[in-house]
Amino acid sequence: MRLPDRFRTISFRLSLGYGLMFGLSAVAIMAVTYVAASSQMEGIVRASIAEDLALFAHGFKEGGEGGLRQEVQERVDSAAADRFFLLLGPNGERVAGNLPTSAWIAGVSATHLSHAAPEAMEGARGDTLYAEGISLGDYRVLAARRSDILEVIRSILLSAILSGCVVTVALALVGGIVVGLGPSRRVDAIAATTRSIVEGRLDLRLPVSGRGDELDRLATDINAMLARIETLVESLRQVSADIAHDLRTPLARLRQGLEGIGRTRDKAGLERAVEAAVAETDAIIETFNALLRIAQIDAGARKARFRPIDLSELCERVADAYGEVAVDAGHDLSTAIDRRLAITGDADLLTQLLANLVENAITHVPAPGRIRLAARREAGGALLEVADNGPGVPEAERTRIFRRLYRLDRSRSTPGHGLGLALVASIAELHGARIDVGSADPGLVMRVVFPPEALAGRSG
């Protein structure tokens, strides 16, 4: 038999478990209370009987038979309805008291009775009594108390304890269910949102109540994961569209070149056609290799290679490597690099990032141009900056230049496959850095801003 969904939730099971635990705890506590209270009440009765017997012993010691008889009679005259006494003479006759002679328990000697636990006996009206007796010379004296009142009190106490246990368990269950309704509703909302996401609504996010509890922390982490997935899926869609658009031309040229090979008759023409086909193939392979590198970086696989690195030295090496290249292109490459600037990261990837930025400036700035490479501390973190005095990038295009295979119209005639800045963006994101694109008035300035936690010795 299948239970309703509400009764199969974790919150209900927890409520049931806590209810049973509280119930058992209440039973244990109240059982101890019952035993202790019963023992205490019985102890009071026994102490009262012992007090009477001590008084009789004192009377007998001070006044002999007369003193004993006087004490018993005074206690009988002043006794409440629950107190009973019996004084037996040397021959077993009743001398005083409000109990019949038969009240003395047959077959039990006075010596044994005085040391025994309270014994139950039937009184003159059929009441159950707790009694103790002692021998004083030739006399035997007995003091007793009615036990029915004690039993009534015990019965009332036991009923109250059982009722309290039932109420405690019921309140624990009801309270647990009521408390569990909130998390259950939130889990239902999360499940509904998750189903919509599975159906393709990657723009949706799990609800966050703002309480900061474990469900909120879980929802926040999942939302971050969903945002990342949405970005990757959108990037994949964009790459697919860009590949279909941008690689169609080189593939068409490759096909035409291969067709031309079949029609070429002279050896020189055949060699040129093969060389052109190989060049087109190499360009296509290079494009796909760049896409693969970006995919690996986006997956975060390279984070295992993060180490403290000297960013200042890295910038100097890149500047030295591209100094002659810039001069050959008719440009002036200058630097402004702070000393001992260290961050935690992948040295190879950061070299690739900086090289792509410098190479992008060298390629797209008309000669003669000025290119400046800077590295410094800023806002508690580190800053890489590559600025030039070229034509710059229109403001509307600045957010698009980091898309894969995206190229400005004026740059389609220049070498490249439109993946250099996309690779820069992926490397920066892997290092937790952001890229700011601005105007150098004239020209373009690209800043890679590393957060304070990226600095070597402060990460982790």
Domain residue spans of the chain = 5-151, 202-241, 247-298, 304-454
Q: Which residues contact 308 (CB under 8 A, 6 or more apart)?
A: 342, 343, 344, 456, 457
Query: Greater confidence, 113 or 155?
Result: 155
| Per-residue pLDDT reduced to its tens digit, 318-368 | 999 999 999 999 999 999 999 989 999 988 889 989 999 999 899 888 888
pLDDT exceeds cutoff 60 at 170: yes
Quote the mean pLDDT of the chain.
78
Give the pLDDT score at 390.
87
User: How sure is the predictor about 125, in pLDDT bands with cuts at 50, 70 and 90?
Assistant: very low
Q: Residue 375 forms beta bridges with which residues?
A: 337, 384
Q: Rounded distance, CA 207 to CA 220, Å?
A: 9
Range with lowest mean pLDDT among 15-19, 188-192, 227-231: 15-19
DSSP 380-398: TEEEEEEEE-S----GGGT
pLDDT exceeds cutoff 70 at 126: no
| Per-residue pLDDT reduced to its tens digit, 98-117 | 877 766 654 333 333 333 33
Query: Greater confidence, 380 or 417?
Result: 380
* Cβ-contact 322, 359 below 8 angstroms: yes
Pick left, alpha or beta for residue 319 (phi over 0 → left; psi -120 to 50 → alpha; otherwise beta).
alpha
What percentage of the chain exceeds 90 in pLDDT?
15
362-397: buried (b, 16+ CB within 10 Å) or exposed (e) per residue?
A: bebbeeebbbbbbbeeeeebbbbbbbbbbebbeeee
Range with lowest mean pLDDT among 147-156, 179-188, 240-249: 240-249
Query: What is the average pLDDT across 362-391?
Result: 90
Give the pLDDT score at 385.
94
What percentage of the chain exceeds 70 in pLDDT?
79
What CATH architecture applies to the domain 304-454?
A: 2-Layer Sandwich (3.30)
Query: What is the average pLDDT across 121-143?
Result: 73
Give the pLDDT score at 119.
43
Q: Which residues contact 311 (CB under 8 A, 6 or more apart)?
A: 341, 342, 343, 350, 375, 382, 384
Q: How many CB atoms lie within 10 A of CB 245?
A: 10
pLDDT exceeds cutoff 70 at 284: yes
Question: Between the ranges 16-25, 158-167, 314-323, where is the mean pLDDT highest?
Answer: 314-323
CA atoms in the 13 A half-sphere facing the CB of 404: 26
User: How sure is the predictor about 128, in pLDDT bands with cuts at 50, 70 and 90?
Assistant: low
Give the pLDDT score at 447.
93
415: helix, strand or coil: coil
Query: Greater confidence, 298 or 445?
Result: 445
Q: Rounded distance, CA 317 to CA 387, Å?
A: 18
Range with lowest mean pLDDT among 150-164, 217-231, 290-304: 290-304
Give the pLDDT score at 112.
32
Whether the full predicted model's pTM is greater than 0.85, yes or no, is no
Query: Dihedral, CA atoms, 271, 275, 281, 286, nearest 10 degrees?
Result: 160
CATH number listed for the domain at residues 5-151: 3.30.450
| Per-residue pLDDT reduced to its tens digit, 180-218 | 666 777 777 888 888 888 887 878 888 888 877 777 888
| Per-residue pLDDT reduced to its tens digit, 399-415 | 778 776 665 544 444 55
Range with lowest mean pLDDT among 284-288, 305-309, 329-333: 284-288
Query: What is the average pLDDT across 38-51?
Result: 85
Give the pLDDT score at 402.
77
